[in-house]
Structure 1
Amino acid sequence: MHLLLMLCPNTKFLTPPWQAVDTYAFPPRNAAERSGIRSDALLIIRDGRILYERYTAPTTAQTAHLTWSVSKSVLATVLGVAQGEGRFQLQDPAARFYPPLQAHPNVRLADLLHWASGLAWQEDYEYAPLKSSVVAMLYTRGRNDMAAYTAARPAAQPPGQQFLYSSGDSNVLAAALRGMLDASAYAGYPWQALFTPLGIDSAVWERDGTGTFVGSSYLYLSARDLARIGLLMQREGRWGDRQLLPASWVAFNRTLFSQAQPVPGEANPGGHWWLNQPLAGAARPWPDAPTDTYAALGHWGQALYVLPALGLVVVRYADDRDGSYSHNELLKRILAALAKEGA
């Protein structure tokens, strides 16, 4: 199934509601300071039809853009296909598929998908690089075997008890997927399971020194190809006449993991996706977006938003380097534009 493509509107001819979206997403760039909102791409799709599409050079519609941690949610989608094939159950111990995790035998696949392995982890990049687990995993002593680096971390608390965002958990999942498959099948599995059925042809997914996909960080996709994954999720896992993902898996992705602390403006964890559902006693993270909104989110402003009740999928690629960008503000302006145009 292909998207019904409508070419990008020339910004000169945008109607005022869409001009408000454009003005927010694409302000003049401060190249010297690399500050402010710095969108590389914005793609808005309603019911499979492109309503808005704009890119900042050198990014184009054909560019396979680094998705950073959006990779985690795509990994979860690949795992959903594997789960539908009967390769694992959520309550399975992860060590069954990734033996180096045997030192932590009670960590389940569901715990890893909730970023709740209980393994000690520090996710900061810029603000605490010398203490950062993720910097060590991606760039220094852990880079050759990222899952093994994570599995060797000490336990900080029992698994499944508390959300602690960890790119290491995601890379253990990528290694566990390898253990579910025949050795010869792993390298092509994301394409066989997900990308090829969706018509995705831009995907590049880097692997570490052992050949395991860097499921936390290093998937590259064009904006339109990432949108296809959003459309699959919006359609409850169905693509054309094929139920590619079990609907129960999509429901798991969209179920709030309540063992987390609310952070104002930040989405809450689901099954390796991010949710606009509020935690107990807290406000909705993005108050101007529907509660059922969920997203795949990545470093420096990468985002795939799905608003299922509205049939809406939004992809944003970016190079944000400060805290200027607001998920809520962009979604608010998009929803206002749709309302004013009666879409």
Structure 2
Amino acid sequence: MGKLRVGLLGILGLVACSAFAEDWPVPDWQHDPAHYDWQAVDDYAFPARDEAERHGVRSDALLIVRDGRIVHERYTAPTRADTPHLTWSISKSVLATLLGVAQAEGRFQPMDAAARYYPPLQAHPRLTLLDLLNWASGLAWQEDYEYAPLKSSVVAMLYTRGRQDMAAFTAAMPAEAAPGSRFAYSSGDSNLLAAALRGMLEPGRYADYPWQALFEPLGIGSATWERDGAGTYVGSSYLYLSARDLARIGLLMARDGRWRERQLLTPDWVRFNRTLFTAAKGMLGEANPGGHWWLNQPLPGQATPWPSAPTDTFAALGHWGQALYVVPSRKLVIVRYGDDRDGSYRHDELLKRVLAVLDKEGA
């Protein structure tokens, strides 16, 4: 009887463990067997050709993951599930995630002077890594794109006089404000962080570090990250990932920096990424800044940026419609790649439609 009792307890324990088991993409994503009607989502994300041409919106990929399983996936040729797609400024948030691994390894603290790791910033001794992570360096910068190329700091950095050494180009900018005193979105700040990462590492480790520290532990196999003429990763803009691999970054963040049994990021780091930078003022556009991520949290006197989504929603966003949305309260990770050429695509509209489908199905 005693042996039988122990056996039953063991079986009950296994059942209890399986009830709380987590799904992970090891080696690849599993699909949720439930059926959902995604027509309203696809109608918005993948409009008919004439409508897409009229509005300048084109989705290349849409991947929806709920609780670690794919519930919907669609692509527009030539993009496929294994196609590395240019993420543009999503690169910035992935860089912040990589820095989170370095921070967990004890390589830096956010309040460290940036010049400690990147000596060309010695002219700005009060500038900290925290300031750069909040896009608050105070350095002069114009984040204008193809519609205003002549005065654009980012166009000059990426394509003309700054492209051989993007961090040095940014470090040479004059100070316009005290570090940490104001928010000013800057791809230059991100590339200073990418250069500072080199100074945190042992000689010879920089080239392989993104793979050893982040991509390989997550099973990411599609990553290509371009470097500038000085060998520094273009942390602002030039990371390529498949939609499925980018979703792995989202799942890591949704689960507070844990990947299976490994705590790659400290929970404090993830909380920092999701903490509103209150020195930002006024309506900033698509969302509000956290630590190199974008948050669905209102600044004082402001409405919630995406009213149809929970306020714990946060995102990595990139030029021409690239987006990685994370909704922890709904266990959701959504990747949308696009080629948008106007401002008609709305984050809130996509999120509203996705949540409506899941609410209808009781998910």
Give the TM-score taking structure 1 as reference length: 0.96
Query: Judging changes above 3 Å, is the alpha-carbon distance between structure 1 residues 99 and 290 closer, same or farther for their aligned structure 2 residues?
Result: same
Show CA shifts across 1:140-180 (max 9, x none): 00000000000000001001000000000000000000010
Correspondent of 1:90 among 110, 113, 121 = 110
Correspondent of 2:203 among 171, 183, 195 = 183
Query: 1:275 — aligned with what?
Result: 295
SS at match of 1:198: coil
Query: 2:15 — aligned with what?
Result: none
Query: 1:298 — aligned with what?
Result: 318
CA–CA distance in 1 between the matches of 2:68 and 2:106?
A: 30
CA–CA distance in 1 between the matches of 2:349 and 2:279?
A: 27
Find out whether 1:208 has 2:215 as its counterpart. no
Amino acid of the structure 1 residue aligned with 2:190 = S
- Matches for 1:328-339 after TM superposition, within 5 Å: 328-339=348-359
CA–CA distance in 1 between the matches of 2:148 and 2:44?
A: 30
Query: 2:273 — aligned with what?
Result: 253
- Kept in 1, the 8 Å contact 2:306–2:347? The answer is yes
- Kept in 1, the 8 Å contact 2:36–2:357? The answer is no
Show CA shifts across 1:53-84 (max 9, x none): 00000000010000000000000000000000
Query: 1:46 — aligned with what?
Result: 66
SS at match of 1:333: helix
CA–CA distance in 2 between the matches of 1:328 and 1:182?
A: 43
- Kept in 2, the 8 Å contact 1:293–1:307? The answer is yes
- Kept in 1, the 8 Å contact 2:182–2:280? The answer is yes
- Kept in 1, the 8 Å contact 2:32–2:69? The answer is no
Show CA shifts across 1:205-254 (max 9, x none): 00000100000000000000000000000000000111011111000000
Deviation of 1:259 after TM superposition, in Å, equals: 1.0
- Matches for 1:109-258 after TM superposition, within 5 Å: 109-258=129-278
SS at match of 1:170: helix
How many residue pairs match? The answer is: 338
SS at match of 1:197: coil
Show CA shifts across 1:169-198 (max 9, x none): 000000000010122100000000000000
Query: Judging changes above 3 Å, is the alpha-carbon distance between structure 1 residues 8 and 207 closer, same or farther for their aligned structure 2 residues?
Result: farther
Q: CA RMSD in A?
A: 1.7
Deviation of 1:14 after TM superposition, in Å, equals: 6.4
Deviation of 1:33 after TM superposition, in Å, equals: 5.3
Query: 2:30 — aligned with what?
Result: 5
Correspondent of 2:77 among 37, 52, 57 = 57
CA–CA distance in 1 between the matches of 2:76 and 2:337?
A: 10
Deviation of 1:265 after TM superposition, in Å, equals: 5.4
Query: 1:317 — aligned with what?
Result: 337
Find out whether 1:68 has 2:88 as its counterpart. yes
CA–CA distance in 1 between the matches of 2:191 and 2:33?
A: 36
CA–CA distance in 2 between the matches of 1:151 and 1:281?
A: 34
CA–CA distance in 1 between the matches of 2:210 and 2:133?
A: 17
Correspondent of 1:107 among 127, 131, 141 = 127
- Kept in 1, the 8 Å contact 2:327–2:333? The answer is yes
Deviation of 1:261 after TM superposition, in Å, equals: 2.3
Give the TM-score taking structure 2 as reference length: 0.90
Query: 2:3 — aligned with what?
Result: none
CA–CA distance in 1 between the matches of 2:74 and 2:53?
A: 23
Unmatched segments (≥5 aa) in structure 1: none
Query: Judging changes above 3 Å, is the alpha-carbon distance between structure 1 residues 264 and 174 closer, same or farther for their aligned structure 2 residues?
Result: closer
Identity %: 75
Amino acid of the structure 1 residue aligned with 2:168 = A
Deviation of 1:29 after TM superposition, in Å, equals: 2.9
Larger radius of gyration: 2
Deviation of 1:39 after TM superposition, in Å, equals: 0.4
Query: Judging changes above 3 Å, is the alpha-carbon distance between structure 1 residues 167 and 264 closer, same or farther for their aligned structure 2 residues?
Result: closer
Deviation of 1:32 after TM superposition, in Å, equals: 9.9
Query: 2:14 — aligned with what?
Result: none
Show CA shifts across 1:291-314 (max 9, x none): 010000000000000000110000
Unmatched segments (≥5 aa) in structure 2: 1-23
CA–CA distance in 2 between the matches of 1:27 and 1:267?
A: 24
Query: Judging changes above 3 Å, is the alpha-carbon distance between structure 1 residues 99 and 34 closer, same or farther for their aligned structure 2 residues?
Result: farther
Show CA shifts across 1:114-133 (max 9, x none): 00000000001122100000
Amino acid of the structure 1 residue aligned with 2:222 = S
- Kept in 2, the 8 Å contact 1:226–1:304? The answer is yes
